[in-house]
Amino acid sequence: NLNDKIHRSAQRLLVVANRLPVSATRLDGDKWDLQLSAGGLVSALLGVKQIFETRWIGWAGVSVHDERGRASLTEALALKGCVPVFLDDDTVDQYYNGYCNNVLWPLFHYIGLPQADRLAATRSLDSQYAAYQHANKLFAQVVFSQYQEGDVVWCHDYHLMCLPQELKTLNPRMKVGWFLHTPFPSSEIYRTLPLRSELLKAVLTADLIGFHTYDYARHFVSACTRILGLEGTPEGVEDQGKLTRVAAFPIGIDPERFIQALETEQVKLHVKELLRFFAGRKVMLGVDRLDMIKGIPQKLLAFEMFLEKNPEWREKVMLVQIAVPTRTDVHEYQRLTSQVHEIVGRINGRYGTVTFVPIHHLDRSLAFHELCALYASTDVALVTSLRDGMNLVSYEYVACQNFKNTEGVLVLSEFAGAAQSLGAGAILVNPWNIREMYIAIEEALKMSDEERKERHRHNFTHVTTHTAQAWAHNFVSELYDTIVEAELRTLN
Ligand code: G6P
């Protein structure tokens, strides 16, 4: 039958995302250093390789102007199953820094840029949108050059909203899915985007559209009905009899990667060292990209208020905040870096002593084994995003808590998608309410063993059953079913 035929013809998964799982830096001549990229998208998609033969197509985060450099980087990436898309500097500036990270990213996360920035962005919007379309075309060409009959093409995130349309123009028979890793905002917010219809129409050419939560899917369908005048159905969006399937597929992590790492000598040794250093104190952990959506300043202010109101805790609790630099060419991110440094400096100046520093703030990423060790040896994780598509740091922290007999507590923003899945085990907070957050910190630090274990058990079960592999499997199966149904409909 047709279903079997389509399933059997499945050969490979072409994952297309703006960022490859490794980012490249040029060493001498034709040598390249490849480091794991940051972010939830990469964390989840790494697990997908185990169940599908995968090619990953994307940008390696570096400008390469000469042919030799391009050839050697292509070769180095091929060993990792990756195919690069090369973008020139102007495109990176207008498409990545501009349209993606200064327009779509803040809008999708309900972040209002300061008025001056908004006006400047509005003035350059046409050229940024042109660069966005140009970049999406370049991605499509690379996908087309890699495509073999039967491949499934899975496009990811807000950078590539025009990609399904570009691909279907090149080959209408391609099976194309699109998944958004950020929230999709309320249609009342989305409709302020000047070129709102074009993006919706382009995405709707995909065979299947996926979001982390039911709410985001609902917002998308509302945007299509209100802005494009199409019909929303429980299955998706209908345009003159043609249905585009829209559904929620909550993402997960590859928990085994973390659980196994904790068994290695390298991590065990590191945990031992950390526990020795932390001895006699409670330690709270924040791990975020240094991004305005993560609520880092709000988290710091809550910690400051906690220290102010609880003098008995001073010198007995510390916060380790890992802030991985990101999108450093975008003005708003530069401003955030200074703001965070200022607050950290103030708190350490006020509450530090000659022998004790309350906040250990690091502006860099950690090696995987260091990260696992930190997750495993800290008492509380503070995830205080102002908005977050899902937030997989919360999942990673939970995965690493079976290690010692003192399972850590997760304090989690209600504005992260993860609040819908880990809400019963975490302490949920509204990160805009600093008072509420400092009370949550108090509750987390004082929580009884019994309650900690019970909350953790709930979250651990979720994280180890709702994995990245299950997510990818569900999405791709649904994509097949959607295509089979559409073909059956045309046969009838
Ligand atoms: C989020 C986005 C990803 C992005 C990641 C890192 O998780 O959804 O698409 O790759 O942030 O951001 P960057 O701009 O460094 O790729």
ipTM for the predicted complex:
0.98
Q: What is the model's pLDDT at position 6?
A: 46
Ligand 1 atom at minimal distance to the Cα of residue 96: 14
Q: 333 C-alpha vs ligand 1 centroid, how far in Å?
A: 14
Ligand 1 atom at minimal distance to the Cα of residue 182: 8
Return the bridge partners of 248, or none. 211
User: Ligand 1: which residue has its CA nearest to atom 11?
Assistant: 39
Ligand 1 atom at minimal distance to the Cα of residue 17: 9
Q: What is the model's pLDDT at position 196?
A: 95
Q: 157 C-alpha vs ligand 1 centroid, how far in Å?
A: 9
Cβ atoms of 271 and 373 closer than 8 Å = yes
Q: 372 C-alpha vs ligand 1 centroid, how far in Å?
A: 21
User: Ligand 1: which residue has its CA nearest to atom 8?
Assistant: 181
Cβ atoms of 317 and 283 closer than 8 Å = yes
Distance CA 86, CA 228 (A): 34
Distance CA 143, CA 85 (A): 9
Ligand 1 atom at minimal distance to the Cα of residue 101: 14
Helices (H), 310-367: 331-351
Q: What is the model's pLDDT at position 4?
A: 53
Count of C-beta atoms within a 10 Å radius of residue 457 = 14
Kindly list the strands in the beta sheet with 380-383, ordered across the sheet, starting from the edge strand earlier in the chain.
359-362, 317-324, 282-289, 380-383, 409-413, 427-429
Cβ atoms of 343 and 297 closer than 8 Å = yes
Ligand 1 atom at minimal distance to the Cα of residue 40: 7
Ligand 1 atom at minimal distance to the Cα of residue 156: 9
Q: What is the model's pLDDT at position 115?
A: 67
Q: 41 C-alpha vs ligand 1 centroid, how far in Å?
A: 7
Q: What is the model's pLDDT at position 2?
A: 46
* Residue 456 tokens, joined: 């953790």
Distance CA 254, CA 252 (A): 7
Question: Which phi and psi angles does 114 have, rounded to 5°?
Answer: -55, 150
Q: 40 C-alpha vs ligand 1 centroid, how far in Å?
A: 7
Ligand 1 proximal residues by C-beta, below 6 Å: 18-19, 38-41, 157, 181-182, 326-327
Q: What is the model's pLDDT at position 18?
A: 97
User: Ligand 1: which residue has its CA nearest to atom 6?
Assistant: 39
Q: What is the model's pLDDT at position 367?
A: 95
Q: What is the model's pLDDT at position 119?
A: 73
Pocket perturbation via mutation, ligand 1, pick of 97, 159, 289 by most ligand atoms within 8 A of CB: 289
Q: 417 C-alpha vs ligand 1 centroid, how far in Å?
A: 16
User: Ligand 1: which residue has its CA nearest to atom 16?
Assistant: 19
User: Ligand 1: which residue has its CA nearest to atom 3?
Assistant: 41
Q: What is the model's pLDDT at position 10?
A: 55
One pLDDT digit (tens) per residue for the chain, 492 residues: 445 544 544 568 999 999 999 999 999 889 999 998 988 788 788 877 777 889 999 999 999 999 999 999 999 999 999 999 999 999 999 999 999 999 999 999 999 866 667 777 777 889 999 999 999 999 999 999 999 998 999 999 999 999 999 999 999 999 999 999 999 999 999 999 989 999 999 999 999 999 999 999 999 999 999 999 999 999 999 998 889 999 999 999 999 999 999 999 999 999 999 999 999 999 999 999 999 999 999 999 999 999 999 999 999 999 999 999 999 999 999 999 999 999 999 999 999 999 999 999 999 999 999 999 999 999 999 999 999 999 999 999 999 998 667 799 999 999 999 999 999 999 999 999 999 999 999 999 999 999 999 999 999 999 999 999 999 999 999 998 888 888 887 777
Pocket perturbation via mutation, ligand 1, pick of 16, 37, 290, 394 by most ligand atoms within 8 A of CB: 37
pTM of the predicted structure, to 2 decimals: 0.95
CA distances from 464 to 125, 399, 457, 468, 478 (A): 43, 7, 11, 10, 22
